Amino acid sequence: MFSEAQLRQYTTNGYVVIDDFFTAKEIRHISEHADLDLQNDSPRRVLESSSGFVRAVHGSHLEVPFFRSLIRISRFVNLAQQILDDQVYIHQFKINAKKAYGGELWEWHQDSYFWKHEDGMPTDNSVNFVVHLDEANDANGPLMLIPGSHRNGLLSYHTDQVSDDPKDAWKSTVSVALKHHLDHEALAALAQNNGIQAVTGRPGSVLVFHPTLVHGSTGNMSPFDRRLLILSYNAVSNALGEVESPRPEFLAGRTFTPIRPDDAERALTDFQLSGV
């Protein structure tokens, strides 16, 4: 659970970093399962535009038993319930690979802008847990954020008309050139006032951040991979409304059943790879 001081920090800055959230052994297991799903040729994956490397895989918790357990561990669920003051379910699950020698950038954005406009999420009462599977350092494209930027609400954006095959339209919301671009003047004003913070950390450290916090990251030309696993919990009272073209379930969950925190922590290290 968060202490009073951590809660205050979250409210003021929009993020908190927790070192050693997972042990080295746990993070090795999580990473092995992450790699298996990144390598699995599934429709839940998206590739980098120039190198063709795997950029990300989504919705592993719907397919992979290990990740079905991971999203239920009380370490996550209790914290999410505390922050959101409600029961929670998973809105989105993704593993971002940011491969060495060619992982591509993420444009500046606010997650809640995408979730409101693409998925019909009514408010920003949701929360992200970013699990560092590799060390994030100065060289491998760490996540950058603007402290306190969640307090200004949603900023203005310019939206591209996407003419893709409707079946693949979701890809423009998770690719190198995003469908919604944050207005540069709004970004500059915030960055000048609040500064930009890069979040570095050891494997096993977790960044908890608000869905309206402005963030992005550069490409990775270093020899070091930068894999992140990102769990986004939403309050049950903030369940998605109807939209014209809902994104696939693996990107925006529409099963709003509350998760009961489970003492499945042991599953993290007991799961054998053959159990996948």
Phi and psi at 257, nearest 5°, equal -65, 130
Q: C-beta of 146: minimal distance to Fe ion in Å?
A: 13
69 - beta bridge partners? Answer: none
Q: C-beta of 71: minimal distance to Fe ion in Å?
A: 18
Shortest-Cβ-distance residue relative to Fe ion: 111
Q: C-beta of 147: minimal distance to Fe ion in Å?
A: 16
Phi and psi at 153, nearest 5°, equal 70, -160
Of 111 and 119, nearer to Fe ion (C-beta) is 111
Residue 146: partners with Cβ closer than 8 Å, 6 or more residues away: 190, 191, 194, 195, 196, 197, 213, 214, 215
Of 133 and 178, nearer to ligand 6CS (C-beta) is 178
Phi and psi at 90, nearest 5°, equal -90, 120
Task: Return the biggest CA–CA distance within the chain.
Answer: 51
Of 54 and 130, nearer to Fe ion (C-beta) is 130
Of 151 and 181, nearer to ligand 6CS (C-beta) is 181
Of 54 and 267, nearer to Fe ion (C-beta) is 54
Judged by beta carbon distances under 5 to 8 A according to partner kind, the member of ligand 6CS, Fe ion, none in contact with residue 174 is ligand 6CS
Per CB under 5 A, which of residues 197..226 are in contact with Fe ion? none
Q: C-beta of 230: minimal distance to Fe ion in Å?
A: 8
Positions in the binding site for ligand 6CS (CB under 6 A): 92, 94, 109, 111, 114-115, 118, 173-174, 178
DSSP one-letter code for 55: E
Of 69 and 126, nearer to Fe ion (C-beta) is 126
CA–CA distance, 149 with 165 (Å, rounded to integer): 34
130 - beta bridge partners? Answer: 207, 230
> Using an 8 Å Cβ cutoff, are 121 and 79 in contact?
no
The alpha helices in the chain, defined as continuous H runs, are: 4-13, 24-39, 60-63, 65-70, 74-84, 111-119, 184-194, 267-270
Question: Among the candidate windows 21-29, 83-91, 106-114, 170-178, which touches Fe ion by CB under 5 A?
Answer: 106-114
Judged by beta carbon distances under 5 to 8 A according to partner kind, the member of Fe ion, ligand 6CS, none in contact with residue 217 is none
Judged by beta carbon distances under 5 to 8 A according to partner kind, the member of Fe ion, ligand 6CS, none in contact with residue 130 is none
Q: C-beta of 47: minimal distance to ligand 6CS in Å?
A: 16
The alpha helices in 74-203, defined as continuous H runs, are: 74-84, 111-119, 184-194
Per CB under 5 A, which of residues 109..128 are in contact with Fe ion? 111
Q: C-beta of 107: minimal distance to Fe ion in Å?
A: 9
